[in-house]
Amino acid sequence: MVAVVISAAGSSRRMGGVKKEYRPLGRDCLDDEGKPLTVLGGAVSAFAASPRIDVIVLAVPSEPETGEGVARKSLPARFLKPDAMPRILFVPGGKNRRASVHHGLVLLSAYRPDYVLIHDGARPWVDETLINRIIDAVIQHKAAIPYMPLIETPKEIDERGFIRRHLTRAAVGTAQTPQGFAYPEILAAHEQAADRELRAAVEYTDDAEVWGEFIGPVAVVPGTQANRKITFPEDLEISG
């Protein structure tokens, strides 16, 4: 059984405070009822179309003005029918992204999935090929993420704003989502990460970091340029 946790509980500060996951993708992006498809609707649609996905959990804000009720309205209606498959569930997010994902993983314990894909709700252009690539890789390796090589030459800087190290471009890249993991192990890793957050001032920026610290190696598969994350308002001006 394969489940998905989609993280969509952030405040969208860099979008001017407008919840980016609920914004329309564009005039030409419509759902099957002819209504504007939202950013979150695009992300959910990609996973809901896969016959390999059994359940999807959306981590959304706990505040009523941006919470589950608004999230439901941002999705195509067919996903919310009682007999719809995969099943769509909602969970209130936490104080940060890691905590929000953790809440989703805990909710999934009742379904006992073998594997879970963890995805950013602000990545609406994920496609079936990448989803299948991650599922196949996680079955083989227990942990896998999409990886994009860098085009620009990376530099590490110090706190004064000077270059500390000249990094080798071939050995450095960027992570995308969905990131896939064996379910019992990633749940245990998040529980350990939550405990460490209580004892030290640490913040985990993605789930591969959580797995890498508490479980072990993470495999990489090729990501796609189309699978970009919406961060700023201008990102929505670029057609997917």
Q: What is the CATH number of the domain that holds 177?
A: 3.90.550.10
pTM of the model: 0.93
Q: Are 229 and 152 in contact (CB under 8 A)?
A: no
For residues 140 and 215, what is the distance between their CA atoms, to the nearest angstrom?
16
| Alpha helices for the chain (secondary structure H) | 39-48, 68-73, 97-107, 128-141, 183-199, 207-214
Residue 240 has pLDDT above 50, yes or no: no
Least confident of 114-128, 148-162, 177-191, 222-236: 222-236
Per-residue pLDDT band at 123 (split at 50, 70, 90)? very high
For residues 21 and 71, what is the distance between their CA atoms, to the nearest angstrom?
9
Residue type, 14: R
Number of structural domains (the chain) is 1
**Parent domain of 63:** 2-237
- Residues in the chain, overall count: 240
- Residue in the block written with tokens 């496609």: 127
